[in-house]
Amino acid sequence: MKYGFGVDLGGTTAKIAYFDREGTLLHKWEIPTNTGNGGAAILPDIAASVQAFIQDNRIDRSQLLGIGIGVPGAVDDAGVVYRCDNIGWGTVAVKDTLSGLTGLPVAVGNDANVAALGESWMGGAKEFRSMVMVTLGTGVGGGVVIDGQLLVGAGGGAGEIGHMILNRQETERCSCGRYGCVEQYCSATGIVRMARRMLEASDTPSCLRETEKLTAKAVFDGAKAGDRLASAVAEQFFADMGTFLANVCCVIAPEAILLGGGVSKAGDFLLEGVRQAFGRFAYHAHRETRFVVATLGNDAGAYGAFKLILG
């Protein structure tokens, strides 16, 4: 049996996992991400941690397939990143550097893409050949897998579905500088923004007026409990999700759409609402698209990163 490592590099920690080639996660641990000094210590720290694991466990290096790593930024074909703001990186030749430090083959991918690959390979979309993962968190991330392979796109730009324009008439600016992106409506932050707008635009009594902290969870809980205003916010969210996912399907027609990220913890309520809205907005050829939820949680990135090595 052959083995390898999957690394999910985040702003706070790097999650490292050891897999066999069948995709069994055998061991996992975390190390802090040292973003000081332009993130210069990040790859040496990861290399040292992996080397120590190999040595401590007396692993035969000839059995090792390599290290896959997901990084928070766009990656080119040569495994080079040009900017990862939240870990301090400018241009870093991740593949060559990490390979040089460990003597192992290295494959590099974008973190959102790699999480999609993980869910496609061993998680919620395992039974589908093609899928789009939608990560609903502070922002809206995405990843596209076709025939089991990650779609990277020119300049690593595929799967940026959170920046599809949903409403050209929007007057508030998205973090990207444009107006009306999906992220402004469907992220946790976006849901709260929409709820605030609706609260300000009416005097309808609502449980949302009394919550200490207005969150996406409070909105969904309110809607589940039948609160009228919360339900209206949720309906708008579902319609926005349904529309933009219908548009994603027009481009690539995936077999399945997988929902992940913090917002997706709203579970069946979310899945059912999105599925129904999608049914209203989808082009007829795409109505059979399946909806599933992420199952690997925080490990998705490590699974997908290791899968990069297997090809």
Q: Which residues bind its own copies (CB under 8 A)?
A: 74, 130, 132, 144, 146, 151-165, 168, 176-178, 239, 243, 246-255, 281, 283-286, 288-289
Smaller CB separation from its own copies, 74 or 195: 74
Cβ contact 21:6 at 8 Å: no
Number of H helices, E strands in the chain: 10, 12
The CB-of-179 to its own copies minimum distance in angstroms stands at 9
Cβ contact 79:94 at 8 Å: yes
In angstroms, the CA 193 to CA 170 distance is: 12
Smaller CB separation from its own copies, 48 or 165: 165
Task: Determine how many CB atoms are found less than 10 A away from the CB of residue 105.
Answer: 15
Segment 262-267 long-range contacts (CB within 8 Å, at least 24 positions apart): 262/136, 262/137, 262/138, 262/188, 262/216, 263/136, 263/137, 263/186, 263/187, 263/188, 263/191, 263/216, 264/136, 264/293, 264/294, 265/217, 266/216, 266/217, 266/220, 267/293
Tokens in use for 178?
A: 């444009």
The CB-of-282 to its own copies minimum distance in angstroms stands at 9
Smaller CB separation from its own copies, 33 or 130: 130
Smaller CB separation from its own copies, 98 or 181: 181
Smaller CB separation from its own copies, 151 or 310: 151
The CB-of-241 to its own copies minimum distance in angstroms stands at 12
Tokens in use for 255?
A: 């077999």
Smaller CB separation from its own copies, 74 or 188: 74
The CB-of-76 to its own copies minimum distance in angstroms stands at 12
Cβ contact 2:63 at 8 Å: yes
The CB-of-243 to its own copies minimum distance in angstroms stands at 5
Tokens in use for 42?
A: 């990040």
Smaller CB separation from its own copies, 230 or 239: 239
The CB-of-58 to its own copies minimum distance in angstroms stands at 41
For the chain, how many residues are written? 311
* Three-state secondary-structure class, residue 304: helix
The CB-of-169 to its own copies minimum distance in angstroms stands at 9
